[in-house]
Amino acid sequence: MTPKRVLLLCVFGSGAFAFAGLGQAPPNAPPLPVTNAPTTFGTSNTVYTSVGEWKFTPFTSSWTYGDTGGNHPTRFMTVPNAFLLSAPELPSGALLQWIEFEYCNSNPTEQISLGFYLADFQNNITNTITSIVGPANSGCSHASFDISIYGLTVDNLNHRYPLYAFFGANGDSTTSIAGSIIGYKLQVSPAPGSNTFNDVLPSDPGFQYVEALVKAGITGGCGGGNFCPDNPVTRRQMAIFLAKALGLSYD
């Protein structure tokens, strides 16, 4: 599948921001998938983090905004041609899977533009992961789609992952953001270039996973520079591995 590229040019006073997109969401995307699987630990489940409307703030403090409140709270700009930003909390090393934007638009002519992008720490946009447009007079709706096709791994050391909501010339509550939901999967750390233990070499099928345990401080091996990969695991060792890996507490 070849992702479409979109270009969104937003002009605010004397400044301009160009968003070069990897993909654009379909207008009638499916709702949030329902699952009864655990969502806290493991690499096979998609974990979801919710970004509420209250986490979206103006790009500059000179821009004013409002909140609708009530049972369906949303946030909107009270100045024209302005936008809100939010920085979702995503764990380093996670593989991005899915995103949903939730918005309201009762304006007869203006649209709302929503996006998720990559930026450096000077807030220079390096690439837009996806962007969508909430058309005029479309009511309260959502747009969501699969972003796993891009194979994006979260790197919080070198990138920011802001969400934005750009509003039109109306500057009132007829266009507003209700929030966003981002899905990701946890991953096992990539294998290092050299081995920690004498008896688990890079050619070993368990090498990546043993090294991940070492890096996470879950194991120090069996002594003498070895891991003893074929030795049986006692119940005591199992308790140590699981408690450290899952961060378990007795409280």
Q: Look-up: residue for tokens 């890096």?
A: 215
Decide: 46 and 184 in contact? Cβ < 8 Å: yes
The pLDDT of residue 134 is 93
Q: Which band of pLDDT confidence, cut at 50, 70 and 90, is reported for residue 8?
A: very low
pLDDT digits (tens, 9 = 90+) for 89-134: 998 889 999 999 999 999 999 999 999 999 888 777 788 899 999 9
Show contacts of 216-221: CB within 8 Å, 24+ apart. Answer: 216/189, 216/244, 216/245, 217/244, 218/244, 218/245, 221/196, 221/197
**Mean pLDDT, the chain, integer:** 83
Distance of alpha carbon 112 from alpha carbon 75, whole angstroms: 12
Give one DSSP letter per residue of 122-186, joined into a string.
Answer: T--EEEEEEEEEE-TT-EEEEEEEE-GGG-PBP-TTT-B--EEEE--S--STTEEEEEEEEEEE-
Distance of alpha carbon 151 from alpha carbon 94, whole angstroms: 10
Q: Which tops the pLDDT comparison, 30 or 187? A: 187
Whether residue 208 is predicted with pLDDT greater than 80 in this model: the reply is yes
Q: Closest Cα to residue 188, out of 202, 169, 208, 205? A: 208
Percent above pLDDT 90 for the chain = 59
pLDDT digits (tens, 9 = 90+) for 43-66: 778 889 999 999 999 989 999 999
Domains and CATH numbers, the chain: 7-185 (2.60.120.260), 190-251 (no CATH)
Global pTM value: 0.71
For the residues 159-178, what does the mean pLDDT come to?
94
For 116, which DSSP code? Answer: E
